[in-house]
Amino acid sequence: MEEPKNKNEPKETITRRYFFEMLGSSAIGAVTFGSAVLTYQYLSPNVLLEPPMAFKAGKPDDYPLDSVTLIPNQKVFIVREKAGYFYALSAICTHLGCIANWKPEGIEGHPEGIIACPCHGSKFSRTGEVLTGPAPQALARVQITLTDSGELLVDKGTLVGEEQILKV
Ligand code: FES
């Protein structure tokens, strides 16, 4: 290392060679880091974590006889008929996917109440059948069972036929 020629000059100076060595090292480090990040992203599974399709919906006694209850965050209606049995319907309209609402006041010819879509006017019976379009098909019926501890368990991932009812 050179001795400073006068006292005001700093003792250590950055040489041109040293500067370019550091610049090169930094560039190699940046490229290596970027490659490592890209490799990690490539090797990591591209998994979309979705909420579980099954959920507990409380005790049967939480639902009065002859009731239709929308569980808004699950987009499911839980229907309890006068006879006491249950079934569950998806609240997702089969036209373009809006969330339908329960209208207990019903309409002419269906005073028992209807399920109505606010988007384009589709109407469904309380069993999910299409009363008026444009919905092309009935609301999906999803599985409802009872857990060992006596709670209602709805599985939106399992579609069932109209014959599936839960007697409690
Ligand atoms: Fe329900 Fe269009 S989305 S009627």
Q: Which residues line ligand 1 (CB under 6 A)?
A: 93, 95-98, 117, 119-122, 134-135
pTM (predicted TM-score): 0.68
Q: What percent of the chain has pLDDT over 90?
A: 52
Q: What is the Å distance from ligand 1's center to 119 Cα?
A: 5
Give yes or no for a contact between 152 and 56, defined as CB atoms under 8 angstroms apart.
Answer: yes
pLDDT digits (tens, 9 = 90+) for 69-114: 999 999 999 999 999 999 999 999 999 999 999 998 877 787 888 9
Pairing of strands 67-71, 76-80: antiparallel
Q: Given phi > 0 = left and psi -120 to 50 = alpha, else beta, which region is 105?
A: alpha
* Residue % of the chain over a pLDDT of 70: 93
